[in-house]
Structure formats: structure tokens, C-alpha cells
Chains A and B, each alone.
Chain A
């Protein structure tokens, strides 16, 4: 069965520090998609990125970057120069070949001013 592990339950850093959120996706599928979502205190789910398992190129979007390594099944998310507005719960999720989106437990990120 598929499993998404976000080992970091909570991370607290001071503003402007860089922070990396870890995600490991275990699956027997060779083709899958990985996602990151942000859930701010208001509760909505904000889409951040979708990555196909065949694409191992790193991706950068402003202060956000993602590193996908298929060999280790890791899809890590880095925020550079963190800001207070980045405080949220971040979820990693994997979409398997049965169209089921499996979610990690989330990492609560606290950015202190």
C-alpha cells in the first residue's frame, strides 16, 4: 500500500531562515504524481506544486523550491528566506495509479518574527 511520510511534525524557525520540509512517498507504482499543499490557519488548502514521477528536475518558484529524488522516494520542499506569512501546515500527497490521493500527516511550520 502507498504511504506518505512527513517525519517532521512541527518546525519552528526565525524569519529569514531557510527551512526544508521532508516527504517520503512509498509505492510500488512506477508512475505517480506528487503534490505539496499549504493549509494556513484559515483552513483552506492551497495548491503549491504537482510533480510527475518521471521528472526529477528540481523546480524553483520564487522563494520555494522542490527536490524530487526517485531513488529515495523523497520530495522535499525548501522555503528560502522564510516569512511570517509562510506559517502554515504543509502537506505532501501522492496520487497513485488507482486515482487515490494519499496524504502525509502534515508538517506545522512556525515562522517567528
Chain B
């Protein structure tokens, strides 16, 4: 499978714990996006990278959230001191850096904070 992959697919954690998710984009894609999706809503933009540079972050991304893409390939999204409100599907997408570049989505990581 040469598509975008995300690990883990499901994560259950207790409030206050830290979690880290990984996204592996399509290899030639230099743009990588993170989204959060809650029930009944569309994906909400969190942050995106072009190569290893984090170019934009949403106001939704509180100080407890951090994302990295150290070598311009895979990316990690860490949530510190998780809260029940963090329960959601976290989606990763990648694309080429060109006008009209299509975003290809991963299957998502479903986070449940108990």
C-alpha cells in the first residue's frame, strides 16, 4: 500500500496521559497536514508542514499539542496531558506543493480519552 498510513489506528488513554501519533505520507509528497474530526463535523485543520518546516498552526492547536516532521518524511503529533475533549479522529493528509495539489488522506487515528 503506497498511500498515507497512520499509526496507531486506535488509542485509548486516561486523562492526563501523553499520546503520540505517527503519519507516513506518500513518499514524494512534500506537504503534510494534520486535521481533527469530531462526530458530526468535517475535518478541522490543525497544522501543516512543507518538507520539515511547520508553516501554519491553527488556533485549535493548544500548547498541549505539538507536531514535528524532522526529516521532511514522517510526522508525529503529540498531545500532552490529554483531556476528554481531545477525543476525536486525527487525520493526516499529504500532497504535492503545487496549485491544485490533491490531498490524500490517511485512515486516521481514533483517540478516546477516558
- Do A and B come together as binding partners? no
Instruction: Give the interface of B toward A (CB within 8 A).
Output: none
Instruction: Give the interface of A toward B (CB within 8 A).
Output: none
